[in-house]
């Protein structure tokens, strides 16, 4: 396939999202969803290596060049799933594949379980279900979330004197990435502000979730997935230590060397993940 990428914008009525478009027009339709606080450039190394796919790599709401949700709104997983269905509707895709990393993988599983007849393929990179909670903690969790929302009103985003400082901050983030990965994410993530640069992402993305599914509820989405599904587990990533969860999953699993962003951190990792995805879609 061509390595060329096209920048597009999708007006969904309730929000406008930015995206990268890869691959031949007659390829298998796939919507790619990045991880938390990342953007469409999460797939900049991976997508050009994939064969026979028409990939729309979104900037999720509140990330990259996409719009933020309106005042008073939040970033619930169900709202992301709604955005994806609207994107498919606008593109005229009745059935489509999902390629998700981390948060994007979680959204993909929920959507594939909620609307199993709409999703043709499910490919997950080091993510599968959101952190779960227990029923007796529900009130405490909501209280914590409400307090965090109120505190956010008085906070200001970090401002970096130059682009290099912003890149270094991303390298040392909650999930560390390579310099090359941070530079790619910064292309869509950093914006000029008075005094330097700041990340475009909506500050509300850092708020704790007011509600968590129980493990039974989370696994209900997994069990309703009908399509072929494959989970790439990064050997040094976030899922590898959750062996009890991995043993419950009905999906094909492939373990690959690398960290949580193995598809983005370097060329070798991108090639390994691409080879896995190409085999999964039947393009050796």
Is position 140 within any domain? no
Q: What percent of the chain has pLDDT over 70?
A: 99
pLDDT tens-digit readout, 7-49 = 999 999 999 999 999 999 999 999 999 999 999 999 999 999 9
Read off the pLDDT of each residue in 119-142 and give the average, rounded to a whole number. 97
52 by Cβ neighbours in 10 Å (0-12 / 13-18 / 19+) ranks as: middle
What are the tens digits of pLDDT across the range 41-91? Answer: 999 999 999 999 999 999 999 999 999 999 999 999 999 999 999 999 999
Is the pLDDT reported for residue 2 higher than 70?
no
* Pick from 11, 62, 58, 6: nearest CA to 32: 58
Q: Exposed, middle or buried: residue 167 (CB in 10 Å: 0-12, 13-18, 19+)? A: buried
Domain count, the chain: 1
Residue 258: the pLDDT is 97
Phi and psi, residue 31, nearest 5°: -105, 125
| Residue 228 included in any domain | yes
Residue 199 inside a domain? The answer is no
Residue 247: HSE in the Cβ half-sphere, 13 Å Cα cutoff: 4
CA atoms within 13 A on the CB side of 196: 14
Phi and psi (nearest 5°) for 72? 90, -15
pLDDT at position 3, please? 63
The CATH number given to whatever domain includes residue 76 is: 3.40.50.1820
What is the number of alpha carbons within 13 Å of residue 51 lying toward its C-beta?
Answer: 12
- Give the chain's mean pLDDT: 96
Q: CA triplet 16, 25, 280: central angle to 5 degrees?
A: 95
Please check the confidence at residue 242 and state whether its pLDDT lies above 60.
yes
On whether the CB atoms of residues 230 and 251 are closer than 8 A, the answer is yes
Domain range holding 103?
5-131+214-280
Is 102 in the active site? yes
| 57 occurs within a structural domain | yes
Task: Label the pairing between strands 16-22 and 5-11.
Answer: antiparallel
User: CA–CA separation, 105 vs 232, rounded Å?
Assistant: 10
State the maximum Cα–Cα separation within the chain, in Å, rounded to a whole number.
Answer: 53
Q: In this structure, is residue 21 part of a structural domain? A: yes
Residue 107 forms part of a structural domain: yes
Catalytic one among 102, 108, 120, 201?
102
Percent of the chain at pLDDT > 90 equals: 96
**Structural domain includes residue 171:** no
Q: Tell me whether residue 247 is in a domain.
A: yes
What pLDDT digit, counting tens, does each position of 201-227 carry? 999 999 999 999 999 999 999 999 999
């Amino acid at each position: 396939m061509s390595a060329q990428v096209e920048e597009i914008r999708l007006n969904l009525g309730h929000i406008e999202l930015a995206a990268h478009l890869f691959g031949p027009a007659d390829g298998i339709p796939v919507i790619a969803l990045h991880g938390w606080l990342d953007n469409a450039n999460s797939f900049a190394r991976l997508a050009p290596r994939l064969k026979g796919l028409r990939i729309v790599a979104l900037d999720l709401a509140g990330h990259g060049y996409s719009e933020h949700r309106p005042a008073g709104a939040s970033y619930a997983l169900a709202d992301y799933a709604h955005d994806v269905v609207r994107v498919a509707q606008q593109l005229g895709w009745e059935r489509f594949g999902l390629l998700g990393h981390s948060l994007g993988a979680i959204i993909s599983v929920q959507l594939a379980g909620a609307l199993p007849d709409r999703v043709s393929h499910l490919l997950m990179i080091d993510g599968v279900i959101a952190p779960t909670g227990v029923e007796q903690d529900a009130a405490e969790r909501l209280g914590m979330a409400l307090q965090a929302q109120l505190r956010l009103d008085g906070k200001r985003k970090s401002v970096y004197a130059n682009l290099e400082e912003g890149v270094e901050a991303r390298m040392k983030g909650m999930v560390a990435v390579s310099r090359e990965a941070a530079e790619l994410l910064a292309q869509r993530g950093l914006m000029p502000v008075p005094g330097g640069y700041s990340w475009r992402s909506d500050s509300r993305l850092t708020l704790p979730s007011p509600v968590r599914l129980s493990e039974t509820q989370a696994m209900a989405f997994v069990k309703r997935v009908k399509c072929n599904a494959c989970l790439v587990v990064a050997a040094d990533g976030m899922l590898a230590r959750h062996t009890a969860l991995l043993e419950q999953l009905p999906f094909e699993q492939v373990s690959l060397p690398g960290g949580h962003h193995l598809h983005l951190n370097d060329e070798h990792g991108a090639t390994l993940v691409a080879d896995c995805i190409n085999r999964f879609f039947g393009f050796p």
